[in-house]
Structure 1
Amino acid sequence: MHQVQEIVDLVDGVPGLDVVGSYLHGSSVLGGLRPAGDLDVLVVSRRRMDGRARRNLLDGALRVSGSGNTRRPVELTVVVQSEVRPWRYPPTCDFLFGEWLREEYEAGKIPLPEPMPDLALLIAATSAGDHPLTGPHPARILDPVPRADLVRASLAGIPGLLDDLHHDTRNVLLTLARIWTTLATGEIKSKNAAADWALARLPPEHRAVLEHARYLYLNCPYTEENWSGALREGVSPLVDCLLAEIDRLRTATSQG
């Protein structure tokens, strides 16, 4: 992909970004890139960037990322190797860019280091995907993420997901299904594979709503959400069911 090469060239061309390796992860590695899918790239560096490097990387990400027919949204994450190896929780993210943050960044905000529980899932997915763009295989430079921390990171993201339910319905439903899958299996699956796993275990009355979310993910851009009638009415009951299953596994894990 031409856009992936642009990301690699951007990362390699930023003075002060001392790169160990860069890695494609997410749907483009786990199951194939979908119509609304982001290009997800993790960069592992040897040290934290200074202010100038952050500005240069951000300016480049704003240019490379997009949301049109010829540009996909880019999610670019930078982590300092010594801050995740040896592994500890919560991990620290050195830099995060995503299209959902574009307005803040265009208004002058600069990505700074901060704790990011979700990075546990991202690092585990990167290791599972094993798709280096530059540098060694991820298993050589990243520690395995313990299952207990995958659970903690999954649970930490639920409040934010619920806040987004009404304007990002398909992704919230599929991500909740993936959290359920991760807690049950210890694996991080693609959204559609997690939906398949959940559909086989959901009560029949909830399946049509999750099947619709899966269909939208596999076939439609974000401009074609198409939630109406019985499908819209079934969203909240499905969420309640998924949360109940997640809580059941969380309780079982904590008692174990």
Structure 2
Amino acid sequence: MDQIREITELVDEVLGHTAVGTYLHGSSVLGGLRPASDVDVLVVSRRRMDDRERRALLHGLSRISGSGSTGEARPVELTVTVQSEVRPWRYPPTADFLYGEWLREEFEASGPPQPGPVPDLALLITMVLSGNHPLTGPPPADVLAPVPLEDLVRSSVAGIPALLDDLDGDTRNVLLTLARVWTTLATGEIRSKDQAADWALARLPPEQRPVLEHARELYLNCLYRDEHWSQELKARVRPHVETVLAEIDRLTRL
């Protein structure tokens, strides 16, 4: 895939030997990319980036990813973490750099991303270790420490408030991510969004299934710009979310 080659070449150009390894995660290693899937990449570095490197990596990604590219490129989500800050493992983990299309306007206004705690790194690292798909560098098990289940749970739950803030504007992704959170808490596994939806659908009452079935269908077959929700389905979204949140809350109290 040309876009993945462009990403690895950019990381090598900006970080060189500072990069320990570059690894795929997300949909790429959890059942395959879908029409609207991002390309998710984790870079493990030997040290924190300097301002020049941050600007150079941001500039390169803004041209490779999604709306900034000249073709039909997928959105890129790229995270850089310093190896010594996640191995040995500790919570919350720190990301040295995080790029995603949803942050593009913020970067244009405020400049390159800076280091900070990113609980979601627990899920990313778990997916990297499970997927075992290095783009450059040694196998991830030689670079990263495994994440304890309790921190995987903490990370999953920590992102819920931000998800709920995006419910109206990013309905499909929020519903599928909540299904994944529920699945992860119940099984200890991180599944693809459609597999997590299948698991959740089998456990939901019939009246709560239609919105998740629709979100799953959109994920498997449609780009984001093709997303459509009928008024009837929109009216069912929040009751469905409340049901799933109740299940998540029950599991976190066990």
Taking structure 1 as the reference length, what is the TM-score of the superposition? 0.96
Out of 200, 204, 207, the position equivalent to 1:205 is 207
1:186 partner amino acid: G
* Equivalent residue number for residue 169 of structure 1: 171
Q: Residue 53 in 1 paired to residue 53 in 2?
A: yes
Q: Provide the secondary structure at the position in 1 that maps to 2:72.
A: coil
Return the alpha-carbon distance in structure 1 between the equivalents of residues 253 and 137 of structure 2. 40
* Equivalent residue number for residue 13 of structure 2: 13
* Equivalent residue number for residue 234 of structure 2: 232
2:231 partner amino acid: G
Q: Offset of 1:107 from its aligned partner?
A: 2.3
- 1:17 touches 1:49 (CA, 8 Å); kept in 2? no
In structure 2, do the counterparts of structure 1 residues 88 and 98 end up closer, same or farther at CA, with 3 Å as the change threshold? same
Q: Residue 24 in 1 paired to residue 24 in 2?
A: yes
- 1:21 touches 1:43 (CA, 8 Å); kept in 2? yes
- 2:123 touches 2:152 (CA, 8 Å); kept in 1? yes
Gapped runs of 5+ residues in structure 1?
Answer: none
Q: Provide the secondary structure at the position in 2 that maps to 1:239.
A: helix
Gapped runs of 5+ residues in structure 2?
Answer: none
Return the alpha-carbon distance in structure 1 between the equivalents of residues 15 and 216 of structure 2. 41
Q: Offset of 1:16 from its aligned partner?
A: 6.6
1:29 partner amino acid: V
1:133-181 per-residue CA deviation (whole Å, 9 max, x = no partner) reads 0011111110000000011011100000000000000000000000000
Q: Provide the secondary structure at the position in 1 that maps to 2:253.
A: helix
**C-alpha root-mean-square deviation of aligned residues, in Å?**
1.2
Higher helix share: 2
Out of 118, 123, 126, the position equivalent to 1:124 is 126
- 2:75 touches 2:101 (CA, 8 Å); kept in 1? yes
Taking structure 2 as the reference length, what is the TM-score of the superposition? 0.97
Question: Alignment identity in percent?
Answer: 70
- 1:30 touches 1:129 (CA, 8 Å); kept in 2? yes
Return the alpha-carbon distance in structure 1 between the equivalents of residues 110 and 209 of structure 2. 44
In structure 2, do the counterparts of structure 1 residues 17 and 238 end up closer, same or farther at CA, with 3 Å as the change threshold? farther
- 1:16 touches 1:50 (CA, 8 Å); kept in 2? no
- 1:75 touches 1:96 (CA, 8 Å); kept in 2? yes
* Equivalent residue number for residue 80 of structure 1: 82
Q: Provide the secondary structure at the position in 2 that maps to 1:234.
A: helix
* Equivalent residue number for residue 245 of structure 1: 247
2:125 partner amino acid: I
- Corresponding pairs, count: 252
- 1:16 touches 1:53 (CA, 8 Å); kept in 2? no
1:55 partner amino acid: R
In structure 2, do the counterparts of structure 1 residues 16 and 133 end up closer, same or farther at CA, with 3 Å as the change threshold? closer
* Equivalent residue number for residue 186 of structure 2: 184
Moved more, 62-71 or 223-232: 62-71
Q: Residue 38 in 1 paired to residue 38 in 2?
A: yes
Q: Provide the secondary structure at the position in 2 that maps to 1:96.
A: strand
